[in-house]
Structure 1
Amino acid sequence: MFFDFGAGEVIGLALLAMILLGPDKLPQFAVDAAKMVKKIKNFASTATSELKENLGPGFEDLQPSDLHPKTFIKKQLANALEEDSNPKKLKTKAQIDPDLL
């Protein structure tokens, strides 16, 4: 699932919602929650497409996860290490522990 909930947790949340909201208000709450999730997904996809459009060429394959600082630094360091084509400077290739980033 979206937040990595298991089946038991989903059933527990459903039972809790039935107790707190009651069976008469639960269907309308589910409809409202589904509409909100749809709006959030639409907002996220619109924001991503506008960001790609505004950044210009070269960013067509941009993913929102690429904007995370840790991921960005890892990619930049990997590109920098690949560009170093002179093996005489470094006898061994530098390796970066991802837990240190």
Structure 2
Amino acid sequence: MFGLTFEKVLVIGIIAVFLLGPEKLPQYAAKFAQLVRQLRDMANGAKDRMRDEMGPDFDDVDWKKLDPRQYDPRRIIREALLDDDPAAGAVGTAATATTISRATPNPNGAYLQRKRAREGALAAAEPAPFDSEAT
């Protein structure tokens, strides 16, 4: 937890004994334990509230997929550019590199959808919206 090893915690404890003194150390240890309990209760309360608000779908959510540490912009771009090809999921292979260089845009991609909508609006030859009261 937080990258703390047993040796580091022991050194922090020894420094705390010297700084606080043996008289006040039990009081501060009790306050620290109370703080940790309150933080744990807050986290559990938030989890319970999420479970109550989301209902039965809470257990179906893949929480590891939503972890921001799993964010890989290269993977997101690759998935957006390539068709649904299961062989394209391998990262770092020569086949993936050649596939990416020859990738065709996904016809259902957001860019092409906006482009088709814009072309459709131009083809309809509607005048541009105009607000006479705008400054």
Q: Would you say same fold, with TM above 0.5?
A: yes
Q: Structure 2: which amino acid aligns with 1:32?
A: K
Structure 1: 5+ residue runs without aligned partners? none
Which runs of structure 1 show a deviation greater than 6 angstroms over 4 or more consecutive aligned residues?
none
Q: Look at both structures and tell me which one has the larger radius of gyration over its CA atoms.
A: 2
So what's the TM-score if we normalise by structure 1? 0.62
So what's the TM-score if we normalise by structure 2? 0.49
Aligned residue pairs, count: 84
For residues 61 and 16 of structure 1, what CA distance do their matches in structure 2 show? Answer: 46
Alignment of 1:1-101 (within 5 A): 2-60=1-59, 67-71=66-70, 90=85, 92-96=87-91
For residues 39-86 of structure 1, the C-alpha deviation after alignment (integer angstroms, 9 at most, x for no partner) is: 00000000011012112231135587665334488xxx8xx9xxx9xx
Structure 2: 5+ residue runs without aligned partners? 93-135
CA RMSD of aligned residues (A): 3.2
Report 1 or 2 for greater relative contact order, CA contacts < 8 Å, sequence distance ≥ 6. 1
CA contact (8 A) 1:52 1:59 kept: yes
